[in-house]
A and B are shown apart, each in its own frame.
Chain A
Amino acid sequence: MSRNLVAENWRLERSRYLLVGNKCTECEKYYFPNVQICTDCNISKLDEYVFSGKGKLIEWTKIYEVAKGFELFAPLYYGIIELEEGVRVAAQITEVTDDTKLIPGIKTQMVFRKLFEDGSQGVLTYGFKAEPQI
Chain B
Amino acid sequence: MNPLMDKIAIIGYDMTKFGDLYHLGLGDLTSLAITGALNNAGLDRSEVEALYVGNAGSGKFLGQEHLGCLVATESGLDCQSFRIEASGASGAVAMRIASHGILTGYIDKAVVVGVEKMTSFSKSSDTQTALSTSLDSIWESAMGGTLAASFALMTKAYARKYGLTDEQRAQVAVKNHNNAQKNPRAQFKNKITAKNVLGAKMLADPLTLFEGCASSDGAAALVLCAPEIAESYDSEPIYLRASKQAHAPLALQRRESLSEIQSIKKAADSGYKQLNISPKDISIAEVHDVLTIAEILAIEGLGLVELGQGGIATIEGKTALDGDIPVNTSGGLKARGHPIGASGVAQAIEILEQFKNKAGDRQVKEINWGITQSMGGTGGTSVVSYYSR
A interface list, Cβ under 8 A from B: 1, 3, 8, 12, 33, 58-71, 73, 76, 78-80, 88-92, 104, 115-116, 125, 127
Mask: chain B, 119-154; 1 = CB below 8 Å from A; 0 = not: 000011110110010000111111111101100110
B128 A62 Cβ-Cβ under 8 A:
no
B interface list, Cβ under 8 A from A: 123-126, 128-129, 132, 137-146, 148-149, 152-153, 156-157, 160, 201-206, 209, 251-254, 258
A59 B258 Cβ-Cβ under 8 A:
yes
Given contacts A59-B258, A80-B153, A90-B139, A66 and B202 within 8 Å (CB-CB): no
Q: How far is the CA of A67 from the CA of B57 in the complex (A)?
A: 16
Partner of B144, one of A1, A12, A116: A116
A115 B146 Cβ-Cβ under 8 A:
no
Q: Shortest beta-carbon distance, B145 to chain A, in Å?
A: 6
Q: How far is the CA of A92 from the CA of B139 in the complex (A)?
A: 11
Q: How far is the CA of A60 from the CA of B209 in the complex (A)?
A: 18
B129 A67 Cβ-Cβ under 8 A:
yes
Q: Shortest beta-carbon distance, A99 to chain B, in Å?
A: 9
A61 B153 Cβ-Cβ under 8 A:
yes
Partner of B153, one of A60, A69, A71, A92: A60
Partner of A78, one of B128, B143, B157, B251: B143
B202 A64 Cβ-Cβ under 8 A:
yes
A-B contact pairs, 9 of them (CB 8 A): A61-B153, A65-B148, A68-B123, A68-B125, A68-B126, A78-B145, A88-B253, A91-B143, A125-B142
Q: Shortest beta-carbon distance, B224 to chain A, in Å?
A: 35
**A64: chain B residues within 8 A (beta carbon):** 201-205
Q: Which of B124, B144, B157 has the most CB of A within 10 A?
A: B144
Q: Shortest beta-carbon distance, A123 to chain B, in Å?
A: 11
Q: Shortest beta-carbon distance, B62 to chain A, in Å?
A: 13
B142 A116 Cβ-Cβ under 8 A:
yes
- Closest chain B residue to A87, Cβ basis: B253
Q: How far is the CA of A8 from the CA of B139 in the complex (A)?
A: 12
Q: Contacts A61-B206, A65-B202, A67-B129 given; 17 further ones with Cβ under 8 A?
A: A12-B138, A61-B149, A61-B204, A62-B202, A63-B144, A63-B146, A63-B205, A68-B125, A68-B129, A69-B129, A76-B144, A78-B204, A79-B153, A80-B153, A80-B258, A90-B143, A90-B252
Q: How far is the CA of A76 from the CA of B128 in the complex (A)?
A: 14
**A8: chain B residues within 8 A (beta carbon):** 138
Given contacts A61-B204, A61-B205, A92 and B143 within 8 Å (CB-CB): yes
Q: How far is the CA of A33 from the CA of B140 in the complex (A)?
A: 12
- Closest chain A residue to B155, Cβ basis: A61
**B126: chain A residues within 8 A (beta carbon):** 68
B143 A67 Cβ-Cβ under 8 A:
no
Given contacts A58-B258, A59-B153, A115 and B144 within 8 Å (CB-CB): yes
Given contacts A64-B203, A80-B153, A71 and B139 within 8 Å (CB-CB): no
B160 A71 Cβ-Cβ under 8 A:
no
Q: Which of A66, A73, A125 has the most CB of B within 10 A?
A: A66
**A65: chain B residues within 8 A (beta carbon):** 124-125, 128, 146, 148, 201-204, 209
- Closest chain A residue to B147, Cβ basis: A67
Q: How far is the CA of A73 from the CA of B142 in the complex (A)?
A: 13
Q: Shortest beta-carbon distance, A107 to chain B, in Å?
A: 18
Q: Shortest beta-carbon distance, A112 to chain B, in Å?
A: 14
The list of the 4 closest CB pairs from A to B, nearest first, reads A61-B152, A88-B253, A62-B205, A68-B129
B143 A115 Cβ-Cβ under 8 A:
yes
**B201: chain A residues within 8 A (beta carbon):** 64-65
A67 B125 Cβ-Cβ under 8 A:
yes
**B124: chain A residues within 8 A (beta carbon):** 65
